[in-house]
Amino acid sequence: MNDLSLHIIDIIQNSLCAGASLLKITINEDTAAKVLAIEIEDNGKGMDASQLARLDDPFFTSRTTRRVGMGIPLFRQSAQQSGGDLVVSSRLGTGTKVTASFRTDNIDMPPLGDIANSLILMVSANPDKDFHFRYVYDGSEYIFDTMEVKDVLEGLPLNDPSVIRMLTGMVQSNIEDLKGESGNNG
Amino acid sequence: MNKIKSLDDLRKMKQSLEHGMNIREKSNSPESLVQIRVAMATCGIAAGARTVMNTLIEKIEKEKIPAVVTQGGCMGYCYAEPTIEVKVPGKDPVVFGNVDSKVAIEIVDKYIVNGELIDGVIPTNYQTINEQK
């Protein structure tokens, strides 16, 4: 995994496998405190305490196509090597929340990567699921919610390439603005 | 094209978007579309599945191919990631392994458009470790 946006895709894939219909993704960056947190919360089938306890074991996976599961261990490694951590909380039948935190001034802090591209790819590949994305930067925020977007597009397919391009551009420029504006104020 | 920033901007763009995609919208039910499923589990992502997915979306837009790109989990072909499964209407799905951007474009040009098979197809009788007796 080269960057954090790829880890986000990976965790979203886990949520989708758990039957989630709504995914909430929050990125919270605080430049003064030099921390960045990524939170991915789903309403999938959740895990019980014994499954949760074995999550860090790379040889634990609920899948049947292969016998190892590296998603969470790799994400945790990325977080821990940059002075942060990863916490998973889950309730059977309710959903799962994965929170990873990072120290942005650490030399091992992975690059964030192309968040807009990762997000919109997931949105377009799963047009029947809903995504609530929130990017918080020094207290200002940008929200992208597929329920609102679907309302506006009135049945235009989210997986059409021209829609994908447009939505990616929209999220991208809003994130850029968010970072630019806060920078000017500070 | 103007920059889209808000939902209002998006609303204004809706008409031109609709115009651009009317060929596909008017004729089609999902079954008549080519379905391309990119395996996006840890193994696939680490091997470059996102790049392949971006390439495929760009390519089907450029060639105006009635196709949708979706996302799948791990099929057990971790050694051959990135893998994609292509389902052309009326045909059995075919899985291609070791797909980088170059191969992805070749798959669209040769397999989807011309119906020719190319190297790198994973045979359908492949069994995952758990299926083998």
Summarize pLDDT for B96-117 with one digit per residue, the tens.
Answer: 999 999 999 999 999 999 988 8
Looking at mean pLDDT, say which of A44-48, A101-105, B19-23 comes out highest: A101-105
Backbone torsion region of residue B105, taken as left when φ is above 0, otherwise alpha when ψ lies between -120 and 50, otherwise beta = alpha
- Report yes or no: B3 at the A interface, CB cutoff 8 Å: yes
pLDDT tier at A150, thresholds 50, 70, 90:
very high
pLDDT tier, A151 (very low <50, low <70, confident <90, very high otherwise): very high
Closest Cα in chain B to A69: B42
Supply the pLDDT for residue B96: 92
User: Residue B30: pLDDT above 80?
Assistant: no
Report, as an integer, the average pLDDT of B23-27.
Answer: 50
Q: Which pLDDT value is given to residue A184?
A: 53
Q: So what's the pLDDT on residue B92?
A: 85
How many Å lie between the alpha carbon of B113 and the closest alpha carbon of chain A?
18
| Domain coordinates in residue numbering, chain B | 32-122
Residue B11: CB partners within 8 Å, gap ≥ 6? A152
Nearest to B41 among A13, A149, A152 (CB): A13
Q: Which residues of A touch B (CB under 8 A)?
A: 1, 6, 9-10, 13, 16-17, 63-67, 69-71, 74, 117-118, 121-122, 124-126, 148-149, 152-154, 156-157, 159-167, 169-170, 173-174, 177
Q: Closest CB to B7: pick one of A6, A148, A156.
A: A148
Q: What is the pLDDT of residue B119?
A: 80
pLDDT at A64: 64
**Distance in angstroms (rounded) separating the CA atoms of residues A91 and B88:** 40
Residues of chain B with Cβ-Cβ distance to A66 below 8 Å are 43, 74, 76, 78, 128-129
Tracing tokens 């971790």 back to the chain, one arrives at B78
- Minimal CA separation from B40 to chain A, in Å: 7
Label residue B75 by pLDDT band (50, 70, 90): confident
Instruction: Flag whether pLDDT at A186 surpasses 50.
Output: no
- Residue A67, pLDDT score: 62
Which tens digits make up the pLDDT trace of B56-69?
A: 999 999 999 999 99
Classified by CATH at the fold level, domain A4-185 comes out as Heat Shock Protein 90 (3.30.565)
Residue A90 exposure: Cα atoms within 13 Å on the Cβ side = 25
Of A127, A133, A132, A121, the C-alpha closest to A164 is A121
Q: What tokens appear for A75 in the block?
A: 């994400």
How distant is the Cα of A120 from the closest Cα of chain B, in angstroms?
Answer: 11
- Check CB contact under 8 Å for B50 and A121: yes
- Residue A58: predicted pLDDT: 77
Encode pLDDT of A47-100 as tens digits. 888 888 888 777 777 766 666 678 888 999 999 999 999 999 999 999 999 999
Q: Looking at the domain covering B32-122, what would its CATH class be? A: alpha beta
Q: What is the pLDDT of residue B58?
A: 94
Residue B119: Cβ-neighbour burial (10 angstroms; 0-12, 13-18, 19+): exposed
Split at pLDDT 50, 70, 90, the class of A20 is: very high
Query: Average pLDDT of A136-155?
Result: 93
Average pLDDT of span A133-154: 94
Residue of A nearest to B36 (CA): A125
State the best of B18, B45, B79 to mutate against chain A, taking most chain A CBs within 10 Å: B45
* Confidence (pLDDT) at B26: 45
Looking at chain B, the number of H-run helices and the number of E-run strands are 5, 5
Q: What is the ipTM of this complex?
A: 0.85
Across the interface, whether the CB atoms of A125 and B70 are under 8 A apart is answered yes
Min Cα separation A160/chain B (Å)? 7
Band (pLDDT 50/70/90 cuts) for residue A27 is: very high
CA distance readout (Å), A23 to A16, A26, A115, B19? 9, 10, 15, 31
